[in-house]
Structure 1
Amino acid sequence: MKPTSFVESVNCAIEGILYTARTQKHMRHHFLAALVVLVAALLLRVTLLEFMLLALAISFVLFAELLNTAIEVVVDMISPEFNPMAKLAKDVAAGAVLVAAFGTAIMGYLVLSKYIFPVEKRLLAMVGTGSELGILVSVILVLIAVIILKGVTGSGTPLKGGVPSGHSAVAFSIATSVTLQTQDPLIALLCLILALMVSHSRLLLKIHTVRELVYGALTGISITVAVNLLFNAFA
Structure 2
Amino acid sequence: MDILERCDIMGDSRNKWKNIGVTEKFNVAFEGIFETIRTERHMKFHCFCTIIIFILSLFLDIGKNEALAIIISVSLIWIAELFNTAIESCVDMVTEKYHPLAKRAKDIAAGAVLITAINALFVGYIVFEKKIVLNMKDMFYLMKSSYQHTVLSIFVLIIVIVICIKAISGKGTALRGGFPSGHSALATSILTLVTSQTNNPKIFFLTLVLTILVIHSRIEGKIHTFFETMVGAFLGWAVTYLILVIVNL
- Per the normalisation by structure 1, the TM-score is 0.48
Structure with bigger RCO (C-alpha 8 Å, 6+ apart): 2
- Per the normalisation by structure 2, the TM-score is 0.46
